[in-house]
Chains A and B, each alone.
Chain A
Amino acid sequence: MSDLLQLIFSGLSIGAVYALIAVGFVAIFTVSEVINLAQGEFAALAGLVAISAVGSGMPLPVALVVAIATVTVVAVVMERVTVAPVKRLTTLTSIILTLGVSTVLKALMLLIWGPEGKGLTPFPGGDLLVFGVSIRAQELWILGIAAVVAAAVWWFYERTIVGKALRACSEQPIAARLVGISPKLATMLAFGIAGLVGAIAGVIASPVYFSSWDSGLSLGLKGFVAATLGGLVSIRGALLGGVLLGVLESLVAGYVDTGLRDAVAFVLLIVVLVVRPAGVFGRHAEARV
């Protein structure tokens, strides 16, 4: 029993990271139909910036703010430089564009931080043992921060005027323009949000899961799969998808074979695309097409 709980708990913690990255995919896709392949790189970059900031003597909270702010700015600049100038942006062009950005970011990270993976200083707190389940303080931080961010994202989209404007852009683009919502501004904002949540995912994950120039690839893939579980348009679906994927991976690794851990995401993706392309949790989907 404690084995099962242990596996589920460790799955929840990596799942929370996937969930935040998935939110980034959804935030951008709903507003602009852009699939942002640099989403995982946001997380890797934030982790590396935070490590360097701590290394230069900054206190951990300051370093986190610096890293998250830096990556948010990078995300907005990326939108301004690569996405905004394109006149007729299709999803396919967006994939090619953002793949290019992702490659550039990876190369820059490799040049600046070198090839070796590093971990950020763990957040404060001691490890716990509850019902035979060993819990790292960092895992509690991951779950707690992810929950707060998820709640904040929900509040933003459901309760604020700006958030509602973004939802309007995604559900009724033409009507949104008619009432005066600028799609350009909305896209920029969406990239900012994606950068912000991606960066948060990156810094909270770094102490346990490490950051390196290429760690964004697997995080991005898993986040994308999680977002797909929600049809790529549902924040709630993306959050649930991330957690589900994390737990499934952990259970498969524990009870079936550790070698199959990374296969879980892809099997899930294929099943979802074949059986329910609108997403497992998709309910708002009909409104989109």
Chain B
Amino acid sequence: MGPRNARRLAAGFAVLALGLTACAEDAGGDSTAEDQSGPIKIGAVLDITGAGATLGVPERKTLEMLAKQVTAAGGIGGRAVELVIEDNQSTEDGAAKAVNKLVSQDKVDLIIGASRTGPSLAMRPIAESAKIPMISLAANAKIVDGSQWVFKTAQNDKVVLEDIVDQAVAKGWKSIALIRDSSGFGEGIGEMLTELGAPQGIKVVRTEKFAPDATDFTAQMVNIRNAKADANLIWGIPPAAGLAQKAYKQLGVTGAVIQSHGIGNQAFLDSAGPSADGLTAPLGRLLVADQLTADDPQKKVIEKFVADYKAAYPGESPSTFAGHAYDAFQLAVTALGQVGTDGQKLRDQLEGVKGFAGVSGVFTMSATDHSGLDKHALAIVTVENGAWKLLDANR
């Protein structure tokens, strides 16, 4: 084989690599001039394909179901609701492109999304400069840190870590090894946990990372095993988080295992299988709705949502991610019903939300807190025989 073949190989490789970035263009929607009488347009950018698919798909189903409900009820203040959903392919640039299209072509009144932190961060500056309210469904507090126009419905990662530190104090764990998602969702978790744990004498002794679409965790778990920490925190989303849980059991890592709030769906239980038994995770109450006491302020909301979802999609149960989409849509619809589509008024209305009982928690927004949920939004949950079990309602 001579240099000619070498060039062929190089060409083949270049084209293969191109495949990595190749992505489908969405057909452009029709654009209408902004006014106060036509249909209300809600845009959504979700991680429907790629690493975030187990989040984005149920979120899309939820939004579609709720949009139908609103339409069946005669729209918002007599105006029809039009939902425009875009797939960001779980990428930052896909999210930026999609939100640009929603803003400039579709001229939406409000944006929901994205499903994960990275894409949400990519969308934030675009929503801010276009002055369109945006409600993210992702976890990282950076998404709303100091934002004017951006809100979010998933529990902040900081809130989750506070719950984890509380757990560690209660159980007497002093050292924690962290194995985290290397994308935006896991960014800064080690630092934040170190900071929150320090006053309690809790140390992060080892940090390992994995790509959101990773399937082999041997290397990370071998290093985690050697760290011999009291507890190990796996911070990721399914199926990766489930496969990491499996590797944790298979490689015989000692110490307790804690998972994040990123695992709240059936896909986690499916991918982790029996290895999930005995873990601890701060999770939304949706998964344990049947085990909540009757006076829980979220019980009614959650039960209605679960019933509606099961009726709309027979054979499926909603995930906590679907719950984040539910909350975002309901916050949006409530605010739109109160003040209409004027951007500034809508933003102010969202910032003023108080005691709004949703699926992910009871929201109370303020000028400094665009997430609206504190550590009581999460219940402490474990897995027993392949099913979620409430350990502590954490009210």
Q: Is the CB of A91 within 8 A of B8?
A: yes
Given contacts A115-B48, A116-B53, A285-B1, contact A35 B8 (CB under 8 A): yes
Chain B residues with CB under 8 A of A103: 19, 22
Q: Is the CB of A273 within 8 A of B215?
A: no
Which residue of A3, A269, A279 is within 8 Å of B1 (Cβ)? A279
Chain B residues with CB under 8 A of A136: 250
Counting chain B residues whose Cβ lies within 8 A of the other chain, the interface size class is 35 or more
Q: Is the CB of B11 within 8 A of A250?
A: no
A interface residues, tally (CB under 8 Å): 55
Given contacts A103-B22, A116-B267, A285-B1, contact A258 B12 (CB under 8 A): no
Q: Is the CB of B239 within 8 A of A231?
A: no
Shortest Cβ distance from residue B236 to the other chain A in the assembled complex, whole angstroms: 13
Task: Determine the main DSSP class of B at the interface with A.
Answer: helix
A6 at the interface (CB under 8 A from B): yes
Q: Is the CB of B5 within 8 A of A289?
A: yes
A117 at the interface (CB under 8 A from B): yes
Q: Is the CB of A273 within 8 A of B10?
A: yes
Chain B residues with CB under 8 A of A127: 250
Shortest Cβ distance from residue A130 to the other chain B in the assembled complex, whole angstroms: 13
A271 at the interface (CB under 8 A from B): no
Chain A residues with CB under 8 A of B8: 35, 91-92
Q: Is the CB of B2 within 8 A of A289?
A: yes
Question: Please, which residue of chain A has its CB at the minimum distance from the CB of B47?
Answer: A115
A183→B208 CA distance, assembly (Å): 52
Q: Is the CB of B12 within 8 A of A10?
A: no
Chain B residues with CB under 8 A of A236: none
Q: Is the CB of A37 within 8 A of B48?
A: no
Q: Is the CB of A259 within 8 A of B209?
A: yes
A278 at the interface (CB under 8 A from B): yes
Chain B residues with CB under 8 A of A221: 16-17
- Contact count A vs B, C-beta below 8 Å: 129
A186-234 residues at the B interface, CB under 8 angstroms:
208-210, 212-214, 217, 220-221, 224, 228, 231-233
Question: Please, which residue of chain B has its CB at the minimum distance from the CB of A217?
Answer: B19
A116→B216 CA distance, assembly (Å): 17
Q: Is the CB of A254 within 8 A of B1?
A: no
Q: Is the CB of A254 within 8 A of B223?
A: yes
Question: Please, which residue of chain A has its CB at the minimum distance from the CB of B179?
Answer: A258
A214→B20 CA distance, assembly (Å): 10
Chain A residues with CB under 8 A of B301: none
B329-351 residues at the A interface, CB under 8 angstroms:
none
A34→B354 CA distance, assembly (Å): 64
Chain B residues with CB under 8 A of A91: 8, 11-12
Q: Is the CB of A209 within 8 A of B12?
A: no
A72 at the interface (CB under 8 A from B): no
Chain A residues with CB under 8 A of B218: 6-7, 10, 250, 254
Shortest Cβ distance from residue B251 to the other chain A in the assembled complex, whole angstroms: 5
Which residue of B3, B4, B220 is within 8 Å of A258 (Cβ)? B220
A108 at the interface (CB under 8 A from B): no
A69 at the interface (CB under 8 A from B): no
Q: Is the CB of B222 within 8 A of A7?
A: yes
Q: Is the CB of A228 within 8 A of B53?
A: no
Q: Is the CB of A114 within 8 A of B57?
A: yes
Given contacts A114-B57, A217-B20, A231-B1, contact A253 B219 (CB under 8 A): yes
Q: What mask results when residues 215 to 232 of chain B are scored 1 for a CB within 8 Å of chain A, else 0?
A: 110111011001000000
A110 at the interface (CB under 8 A from B): yes
Which residue of B1, B6, B50, B213 is within 8 Å of A233 (Cβ)? B1
A278→B53 CA distance, assembly (Å): 41
Q: Is the CB of A14 within 8 A of B6?
A: no
Chain A residues with CB under 8 A of B147: none
A253-289 residues at the B interface, CB under 8 angstroms:
253-254, 258-259, 261-262, 269, 273, 277-279, 282, 285, 288-289
Chain B residues with CB under 8 A of A289: 1-2, 4-5
B211 at the interface (CB under 8 A from A): yes
Which residue of B9, B15, B182, B209 is within 8 Å of A37 (Cβ)? B15
Which residue of B1, B209, B215, B267 is within 8 Å of A209 (Cβ)? B215
Chain A residues with CB under 8 A of B219: 7, 10, 250, 253-254, 258, 261
Which residue of B9, B54, B226, B251 is within 8 Å of A277 (Cβ)? B9
Q: Is the CB of B49 within 8 A of A115?
A: yes
Chain A residues with CB under 8 A of B216: 10, 14, 208-209, 250
A259→B207 CA distance, assembly (Å): 12
Q: Which of A35, A107, A261, A277 has the most CB of B within 10 A?
A: A277
Shortest Cβ distance from residue B316 to the other chain A in the assembled complex, whole angstroms: 12
* Residues of chain B at the chain A interface (Cβ within 8 Å): 1-6, 8-13, 15-17, 19-20, 22, 24, 48-50, 53-54, 56-57, 182, 208-211, 213, 215-216, 218-220, 222-223, 226, 239, 243, 250-252, 267, 271
A-B contact pairs, 6 of them (CB 8 A): A7-B218, A92-B8, A95-B11, A103-B22, A114-B53, A231-B1
With A99-B15, A117-B53, A258-B219 given, name 10 new contacts (CB 8 A): A6-B218, A6-B222, A37-B15, A91-B8, A116-B54, A116-B57, A119-B271, A231-B1, A261-B219, A282-B1
Q: Which 9 A-B pairs have the closest CB atoms?
A: A277-B6, A253-B219, A115-B53, A10-B218, A254-B219, A115-B49, A35-B12, A209-B215, A278-B1
